[in-house]
Amino acid sequence: MGTVERKEREKESRKESIIDAAQKVFFEKGLLTATMDDIAEHAELAKGTLYLYYRSKEDLYLAVMMRGLVLLRGMFEEVIAQHYSTVRTLAELTNTFVRFFEHHRNYFRMFHFFNTPQFHKQVSEEMMTACDRCNESLWSLATGVLERGRAEGRIRTELRPIEIVIVLWTSASSLMMRIDSQGELFRQKLTVDLEHTLRVSNILLLESVMTDAGKKELSELQS
Amino acid sequence: MGTVERKEREKESRKESIIDAAQKVFFEKGLLTATMDDIAEHAELAKGTLYLYYRSKEDLYLAVMMRGLVLLRGMFEEVIAQHYSTVRTLAELTNTFVRFFEHHRNYFRMFHFFNTPQFHKQVSEEMMTACDRCNESLWSLATGVLERGRAEGRIRTELRPIEIVIVLWTSASSLMMRIDSQGELFRQKLTVDLEHTLRVSNILLLESVMTDAGKKELSELQS
DNA sequence: TGTAGTTTATGACCAACGGTCATTTCATTG
DNA sequence: CAATGAAATGACCGTTGGTCATAAACTACA
């Protein structure tokens, strides 16, 4: 009598196929322009059915965004699995984040709304904590590396590892967000290449949290 | 026959009083929750009248936001007028930005939407360029200081002054934005004091764009 | 296989809201 | 005091997120 289990599986796969549809629509139109009717049509379901599986449009949006977080975490894990030196690992993690931005921009864009104040109110408690957990597990990969670097005397101690992650992540994200939305404007009106700004800024930030030993190793890596 | 001039003045003051009403409502409810009916009521006008003066809700929002930009620019100008040394001026500008965040948080919050991709589409061309100009004039205050610092050999040359401004501004803003929306969460769940993170991160960033001479002067200022 | 009972799906419907426009009100002018 | 033009109004519209009474599909058991 595996009926219950089968139902469970079916429910799960239905949820997934709804996310598939939502992803297509959100990627194409963004949060504000996408409509639930639109998603329902892509999912070949009635609108009401969507609400049996997700509490709100925003919940659905976050469900898609979490796929991006999981993807990025996988990329981070791959880097760490290479067992580079601490300093090199940090540099590679930074580059990986930039690569994620370049290759999976649709997912990256979704991260922005997670920081929008008004956005949170539309989201269910469960989905919010699920996202928080996912985000935390991502950051903890980096804090792990930083702790090792601290023990090795490569990382300065003014900031805790978690604080360093926050600074690096926040600063890189917001610069990439700006590239995404205003990159062309900056290039044309101010002749600024924000991609260049991003690369240099990442290096400067990394340097700024490293001891002299760390800086030395980092600069050797650049060449 | 100053009729035309008087009409012009009246129109201007009507626009201002609409912004007054909009400001009250936006401060209280934010962009998404605030409604045009709400603003109309506060302005003691019919909703249709608002649209005689502003093209859209978003235009109105930006009109309020620009007050914040102007206010901040004034604060920056005051700092510069003190004629501190270049390094000290930069440090003071950074602190001023943080102070603006602390004392005028309602304005600061509005800055966020300016970077939201979907947001731009609802905004009229004129309002957009007006904001751009305002923002530019703000940033150019800082680039001016940085250029002087460069000439004095206090500022590194890997990044152009405008790029440095972008990095400092973007990174500080996004950290403050996070403090605003998730500060308590971080304090409770990760025991992280993001205000502390912000202060240190600002110093690290400043250091990272300075030459040794600049760094020396900066560290003397801290004590 | 038939039927009672339960789960899942549906789409007409609702309320809220941004924005419009025909109509009215007000001010200016000669 | 009309005549003319500008400014203000609010009923109205289309869109959209979300709901819920009803229907369809599926399960379980006799």
Question: What pLDDT does residue B8 have?
Answer: 80
Say yes or no: A47 and A121 in one domain.
Answer: no
CATH number at residue B61: 1.10.357.10
Question: What pLDDT does residue B90 have?
Answer: 98
Query: How distant, in Å, are the alpha carbons of B5, B13, B15 from that of B2?
Result: 5, 16, 20
- Classify residue A210: in a domain, yes or no: yes
> Is the CB of residue B15 inside 7 Å of nucleic acid strand D?
no
- Classify residue A59: in a domain, yes or no: no
Say yes or no: A73 and A160 in one domain.
Answer: yes
Nearest CA among A89, A88, A209 for reference residue A142? A89
Say yes or no: B121 and B138 in one domain.
Answer: yes
Question: What pLDDT does residue A76 have?
Answer: 98
Say if the Cβ atoms of B170 and A162 lie within 8 Å: no
Say yes or no: B105 and B190 in one domain.
Answer: yes
CA distance A147 to A138: 15
| Number of folded domains that form chain B | 2
Say yes or no: B141 and B95 in one domain.
Answer: yes
- Classify residue A139: in a domain, yes or no: yes
Say yes or no: A108 and A215 in one domain.
Answer: yes
- Contacts A118 to B, Cβ<8 Å: 30-33
What three-state secondary structure class fits B124? Answer: coil
Say yes or no: A74 and A159 in one domain.
Answer: yes
Question: What pLDDT does residue B222 have?
Answer: 85
Say yes or no: B195 and B133 in one domain.
Answer: yes
- Classify residue A62: in a domain, yes or no: no
CATH number at residue A38: 1.10.10.60
Q: Which nucleotides of C are covered by protein (CB under 7 A)?
A: 7-12, 16-22, 28-29
Question: What pLDDT does residue A2 have?
Answer: 67
Q: How far is the CA of A45 from the C1' of D25 (A)?
A: 15
Q: Which nucleotides of D are covered by protein (CB under 7 A)?
A: 6-11, 15-21, 27-28
| Domain end residue (candidates: B53, B69, B88) | B53
CA distance B5 to A221: 67
| Domain end residue (candidates: B17, B34, B53) | B53
Question: What pLDDT does residue A116 have?
Answer: 85
Say yes or no: A27 and A110 in one domain.
Answer: no
| Domain end residue (candidates: B38, B53, B68) | B53
Say yes or no: A164 and A89 in one domain.
Answer: yes
Question: What pLDDT does residue B2 have?
Answer: 67
- Classify residue A19: in a domain, yes or no: yes
Ranges of residues in chain B with a pLDDT under 70 are 1-3
Ranges of residues in chain A with a pLDDT under 50 are 1
Chains A, B: CB pairs < 8 Å = 120
Say yes or no: A46 and A82 in one domain.
Answer: no
Query: How distant, in Å, are the alpha carbons of A11, A129, B70, B155, B214 from that of B223?
Result: 62, 42, 32, 21, 15
Structural domain of B158? 56-222
- Classify residue A138: in a domain, yes or no: yes
Buried-exposed string A174-194: b where 16+ CB fall within 10 A, e elsewhere: bbbbbbbbbbeebeeebebeb
Residues of chain A contacting B, Cβ within 8 Å: 30-33, 109, 112-113, 115-118, 120, 132, 158-160, 162-163, 166-167, 170-171, 173-175, 177-178, 180-181, 185-186, 190, 192, 194, 196-197, 200-201, 204-205, 207-209
- Classify residue A21: in a domain, yes or no: yes
Q: How far is the CA of B29 from the C1' of C26 (A)?
A: 34
Name the residue in chain A with its Cα closest to that of B29.
A118
Q: What is the mean pLDDT of chain B?
A: 94
Say yes or no: B105 and B156 in one domain.
Answer: yes
Nearest CA among A110, A64, A123 for reference residue B117? A110
- Classify residue A198: in a domain, yes or no: yes
